[in-house]
Structure 1
Amino acid sequence: MMAGDGPACYVYGVIPDEGGDQAVKDLPAVGAPDSPVTFVRDRGLAAAVSEVPTEQPLGSPDDLRAHAGVLDTLAASGLPVLPLRFGTVVRDERAVTEELLTEGHDDFTWALDRLRGSAQFTLRARYVQDEVLREVLDEHVEARRLREELEGLPEDAGYDLRVQLGQLVVEAVGAKREVDAREIEQRVAPFALAVATSEPESAEGVVNAAFLIEDKQRGAFEQAAEELARQWNGRVRLRLLGPLAPYDFVADALRRVEEGG
């Protein structure tokens, strides 16, 4: 956060100068929910901005939601979006033009053209814990044996057996995760321009993946995800988020600019 006495300029991201005003009208802003979100425009580009007080730190859950809300709303309106990192603050709107839009004009324009007509969808899959444990016990004789030996034992007994059972379950779920993650990729990735994966956030997690989807492939992609959800109903919980701003694909788009396309 910048030091200063008055408000500064918070920057959400960059879009082509093709509208967007109605899309962000009345959205809450970062740091000052009642501050209007507006645009600084320069030579075919527009940066989404709002005034932000400099005397208070940023980073509350409301701030994070407001940042994503502006970017995802613009993406949902059909505009290509280059999200900036949360917490991007500059001195004033003049600095937005001189330090951001002017200096980055060619790279931003090229990257926005690459992202035009596409949006990010994020797919998160988690096992239903009781169901996947039942599968492990059905498929592994040793797991069933250990479970039966532990039944009726007091809490302070059978420590070694519990450790063995725990390790077996972790290994078995890990093997299932590899198979199921591969199936998810085979079923939905063919409809994507690019895929970015990250580690699941919990032990029950199967996949946490972002897909860059062209508008013309969106229906087929969503149908493939829905078919998976029906197939795995009661076993795996699938959550599909989107359309979103292409958070996981901006760095790659700009990197290709640097490398010459």
Structure 2
Amino acid sequence: MALYVYAITGESHPLAVEDMTGVGAEPSPVRALACGPLYAVVSDVSEEIRPKRRDLLIHQEVQERLMEGGPVLPLQFGYTAADEATVEQALRRDVDGYLANLERLAGCAEYHVRASQNEEELLRQILRETPETRELNERIRAGDPDPQLPLTLGRMVAAQVRERQDALAAGLADALVPYAEEHNVRPASGDDFLNLSLLISDDRKEEFLAARSGLVRQFGEGVEFRLSGPLPPYSFVQ
């Protein structure tokens, strides 16, 4: 039977998942498959697993339970293997690498910081602080018929938005990265201008949260911060 694989842990992990059932239409018990000094945490599945809400929640619940007991290498949702032999073969292929990763991630969790700005306030700020854009805007409002003015103003404002948000994102990252063991800056999407993943050790968690709260107070309502975590260290599994 096929196996759904949640994570990899070490032999010293307590593996307190015996009361959990796994993903799928006919959930089976979550269990640990031993291979030398490593364990793969798995459950049996009989069908292709799709990202339904129930299964996404179960996947995350298993990860969070494992994190309570020690370091874990979480797999992204949806990873399946044909059988136990396939999983064991994958573990044997890089035992030292898995063990090194578990040691590196011990006592750490992942946090995501995303940030966005109030668009209307940002545009008002640009028009107020940039003479060139203010002049063009005033000419347009006064009825100047030049058809190029709106296009020129739009390009200038867009360039200012990018410049200001790039600088702000860099400054926010510089303020938070010193608290992290490792970090990843990812492309922002939607209205966000910052998408930052940080690997924070337990002994620096409070410092990190205090620094983030300080930034929230510093920027007030002009910048919206969204913090997720502690999370399994998906972004830092090598």
Same fold (TM over 0.5): yes
User: Within 5 A, what are the aligned runs for 1:202-217?
Assistant: 202=190, 204-217=191-204
1:8 equivalenced with 2:2 (yes/no): yes
Quote how far apart the aligned CAs of 1:183 are.
Answer: 1.6
* TM-score normalised by structure 2 residue count: 0.86
Q: Deviations over 1:168-212 (max 9, x none)?
A: 12111111112212221221111111111111112x322101111
Quote how far apart the aligned CAs of 1:140 are.
Answer: 1.3
Structure 1 residue aligned with 2:29: 36
1:67 equivalenced with 2:59 (yes/no): yes
Structure 1 residue aligned with 2:77: 86
| Structure 1 residue identity aligned to 2:227 | L
| Structure 2 residue identity aligned to 1:207 | L
Structure 1 CA distance for aligned equivalents of residues 95 and 118 of structure 2: 47
Q: Which runs of 5+ in 1 are unaligned?
A: 1-6, 252-261
Structure 2 residue aligned with 1:46: 39
Structure 2 CA distance for aligned equivalents of residues 166 and 102 of structure 1: 57
1:237 equivalenced with 2:224 (yes/no): yes
User: Within 5 A, what are the aligned runs for 1:178-193?
Assistant: 178-193=166-181
Structure 2 CA distance for aligned equivalents of residues 197 and 111 of structure 1: 20
Say which SS state the counterpart of residue 234 (structure 1) adopts. Answer: helix
**What RMSD, in angstroms, separates the aligned Cα atoms of the two structures?**
2.6
1:122 equivalenced with 2:112 (yes/no): yes
Counterparts in 2 of 1:236 and 1:13: CA distance versus 1, 3 Å:
same
| Structure 1 residue identity aligned to 2:38 | L
Say which SS state the counterpart of residue 209 (structure 2) adopts. Answer: helix
Structure 1 CA distance for aligned equivalents of residues 65 and 133 of structure 2: 48
Quote how far apart the aligned CAs of 1:148 are.
Answer: 3.4
Identity over aligned residues, as a percent? 33
| Count of aligned positions | 236
Counterparts in 2 of 1:12 and 1:159: CA distance versus 1, 3 Å:
farther
Q: Which runs of 5+ in 2 are unaligned?
A: none
